[in-house]
Amino acid sequence: MSTLEKLIEEKHQINMADIIREGNPTLRAIAEPVSLPLTEDLLKLGEKMLEFLKNSQDPEIAEAMGLRGGVGLAAPQLDLPIRVIAVHLPDENPEIAELKLSTVMYNPRIIAHSVQSACLADGEGCLSVDREVPGYVVRHARLTVKYIDRDGIEQIKKLRGYEAIVVQHEIDHINGVLFFDHINPQAPFTLDENVTII
Ligand code: CO
């Protein structure tokens, strides 16, 4: 059975054992675009990825399943070198309520971005990286992303703030890039003037 077939089996729920960790070459490969129209299998994969994120954010389910909390997941993290990402930003947190985003993106591409940069105050983490890597991860503050949605329809979305950061982290994964690649090891907390800390 292929990796994809195993992941999308009816009874299977994606868990930490499905997620590959740094050192695995799939995380460093440029993933292939998915072909259109989207197959039933790829649609199921998207659902399973989103389900994983929701489970990981539910304290009881996460504890029972031993999941680390996550807001985004990219197919290469499941050892599938294809351009599929899922993002689930919770709306429970009042601070990011207006930034809610829950979606699967097929073949996502950044088609425009701001000159201004932004980074998260607490740095970033990744389900494929089992260690903390301190430092600011500088990204575009705003961007326009183009992707195919679950209905096979091309979408163009403008993102800013936290959701823009998360989507860039996931798009990095399909390009073989990990968050700490953006951290300057000599000066992990040094920022240019045009960077907003969020
Ligand atoms: Co990651």
**Res 114: pLDDT:** 97
Report d(CA 5, CA 147) in Å as an integer: 24
Cα(26) to ligand 1 centroid in Å equals: 13
**Res 179: pLDDT:** 98
**Res 117: pLDDT:** 96
**Res 96: pLDDT:** 54
Cα(73) to ligand 1 centroid in Å equals: 7
Domain count, the chain: 1
Cα(166) to ligand 1 centroid in Å equals: 9
Mean pLDDT across the chain, nearest whole number? Answer: 94
Per the annotation, the verdict on 47 as an active-site residue is: no
Confidence of residue 1 (pLDDT cuts 50, 70, 90): confident
**Res 95: pLDDT:** 62
Active site residue: 95, 132, 170, 193, which one?
170
CATH number at residue 75: 3.90.45.10
Question: pLDDT tens digits, residue range 174-194?
Answer: 999 999 999 988 999 999 888
Cα(163) to ligand 1 centroid in Å equals: 14
60 pLDDT above the threshold of 80: yes
- The parent domain of residue 91 ranges over 3-197
Question: pLDDT tens digits, residue range 74-104?
Answer: 999 999 999 999 999 876 556 655 557 899 9
